[in-house]
Amino acid sequence: MTDTLARPAFDDLDRITPRRTRIGLVAGGLGAYWPQFPGLLPQLRASARRVTERLSALDCEVVDAGFIADPHEGAAAAEKLRAADCDLIIGFLTTYLTSNMLVPIAQRSGSPVLLLNLQPTEAMDHETFDTGAWLAYCGACPLPEMANAFRRVGVEFRSVSGYLEDERAWTKIGRWIKAAGVRAAFRHGRHGLLGHLYPGMMDVSSDPTLVSAQLGGHVEILEIDDLRVRVEQVTEAETQARMALAREIFSMDESVVEEDFAWGAKVSVGLDRLVADFELDSLAYYHRGLDGETHERVGAGFILGASLLTARGIPAAGEYELRTSLAMLLMDRLGAGGSFTELQALNFRDNVVEMGHDGPAHLAISARKPLLRGLGVYHGKRGWGVSVEFDVRHGPVTLLGIGQRRDGTFTLVASEGEVVPGPLLRIGNTTSRVDFGCDPGEWTDAWSASGVAHHWALGTGHRVGELTAVADLLGLELTVVRV
């Protein structure tokens, strides 16, 4: 990915290294041209090499199936790319070629396909060009043919047109590659679901089978005891080491009780082991417990460890919010962070919406060194302990939620705004003031009417362009809330 999250200023909290996005590449042209125009094929191959170079610079693995000139070579390329299990197939139309050369590749790979029409320069030199020179600029000619053929055989069509060094075109191509990385993260993902639903939250309830059906991957059902036994195995030395790490990362408020801090650190180490043992890429959790017993204390001790996991690229969301943990994963893989968020209050004086949460946060997108605050009460939840407090980095942000329709279909819901400075609550919550450029009440009504649940991921940057590509590759509808 070209965007990366800010790396923490310490060495002990390394982000995970996600599986590299695998891009299949095939370039082609009509072989009948080669004997007619001897200089054409070398020029087209040079363009294909340049595309390979630019793709490789986008932090992806490129599987190059070569240059095809007829349907037989297209079939061989189709088999190579099918076996490579690519996340995205890119077909580079260097000049005119027939659709029966590319349709088998699109059909057999099982991967989404992006066609590139990138001519050598911005425009032809009309005074000096002959037919052979023109044909090197003729990638646009087969594009409607490909679109028609793809749709007739049931393959989704998408393309980017421009020229080889057209940065606008490469920005679009980069979005498709990021989107393919998100699709791969879901296809190969293992998502932990620990505990039970927060009682009464009907919007949060999710069928794990729908995740596998619509996004791919696997949802691992976990119990609070899966974590409890690992927490009990954490040594005093490991607890002290985690506390030392937390002191580097956080500012420590005077409200932090040492015993509660130590417990949160111990649970954090146990969470790391849980994630490693079950090979999890994300985690959603909640457990109520009762009267200070062990399970209640484990359930109350998540926030420190879940925030550290999230900063490492393994998003963790409270209140059993499976869909929001997936939205956080999506935003993280786009390089946007993605912090667990809900509405807090509206400020009609300053025209901002205040939002955040009392649970885990994405530390990498904090405006400043995050604060660890001690809380004697978690509002609406059992237990007590330490909680994370910060404001998201000021500037452009995007909200992303995964909604669910009556028929079970997932949807993406997004809105772009800007985090602006101003007074914030100091209650152990992540809190940000988001300006959507309109009356906060009108925005809140529109956002709520979109079908989003009451939690979502808040990430940095304006990401609707990237999310449009993600929605396309995932086959989901994207609703963008603008007022």
Number of domains into which the chain is organized: 2
pLDDT band, residue 3 (cuts 50/70/90)? very low
Q: Verify that 194 and 138 share a domain, yes or no.
A: no
pLDDT band, residue 379 (cuts 50/70/90)? confident
Q: Verify that 182 and 192 share a domain, yes or no.
A: no
Give pLDDT tens digits for 269-312: 999 999 999 999 999 999 998 888 999 999 999 999 999 999 99
pLDDT score of 11 more than 50: no
pLDDT score of 418 more than 70: yes
CATH number for the domain including 78? 3.40.50.10940
Residue 276: exposed, middle, or buried by beta-carbon count in 10 A (0-12, 13-18, 19+)? exposed
Q: Verify that 317 and 436 share a domain, yes or no.
A: yes
Average pLDDT of 363-370? 93
DSSP secondary-structure letter at 291?
T
pTM confidence score: 0.94
CATH number for the domain including 369? 3.20.14
278 three-class SS:
helix
**For residue 16, is it within any domain?**
no
Predicted local distance difference test score (pLDDT) of residue 461? 98
**For residue 10, is it within any domain?**
no
pLDDT score of 480 more than 80: yes
- What percent of the chain lies above the pLDDT cut of 70? 97
Give pLDDT tens digits for 99-120: 999 999 999 988 999 999 999 9
**For residue 242, is it within any domain?**
yes
Q: Verify that 289 and 400 share a domain, yes or no.
A: yes
Predicted local distance difference test score (pLDDT) of residue 383? 74
Q: Verify that 170 and 261 share a domain, yes or no.
A: no
Last residue of a domain, one of 133, 167, 186: 186
Q: For 196-265, give the DSSP string.
A: -PPTT-TTT---HHHHHHHT-SEEEEE-HHHHHHHHHT--HHHHHHHHHHHHHHSEEPTT--HHHHHHHH
Q: Give the domain extent around 440.
A: 188-480
- What percent of the chain lies above the pLDDT cut of 90? 90
Q: Verify that 60 and 203 share a domain, yes or no.
A: no
Last residue of a domain, one of 186, 218, 246: 186
pLDDT score of 9 more than 70: no
> Which residues lie below 8 Å from residue 261, measured CB to CB, with a gap of 6+?
243, 246, 252, 372, 374, 386
pLDDT score of 343 more than 60: yes
Q: Verify that 153 and 199 share a domain, yes or no.
A: no
Output the CA–CA distances (angstroms, integers) from residue 118 to 91, 136, 164, in the order listed.
Answer: 11, 10, 5
**155, 113 in Cβ contact below 8 A?**
yes
Average pLDDT of 353-376? 91
Q: Verify that 226 and 266 share a domain, yes or no.
A: yes
Predicted local distance difference test score (pLDDT) of residue 61? 96
Predicted local distance difference test score (pLDDT) of residue 5? 54
Predicted local distance difference test score (pLDDT) of residue 6? 47
Q: Verify that 158 and 255 share a domain, yes or no.
A: no
| H or E segment to which residue 381 belongs | none
Last residue of a domain, one of 151, 186, 221: 186
**361, 339 in Cβ contact below 8 A?**
yes
Average pLDDT of 185-211? 96
Predicted local distance difference test score (pLDDT) of residue 12? 53
Q: Verify that 241 and 359 share a domain, yes or no.
A: yes
Q: Verify that 235 and 321 share a domain, yes or no.
A: yes
Count of other CB atoms within 10 angstroms of residue 108: 16
pLDDT score of 10 more than 50: no
Mean pLDDT of the chain: 94
The torsion angles phi and psi of 33, rounded to 5 degrees, stand at: -75, -25
**For residue 451, is it within any domain?**
yes
Q: Verify that 52 and 132 share a domain, yes or no.
A: yes
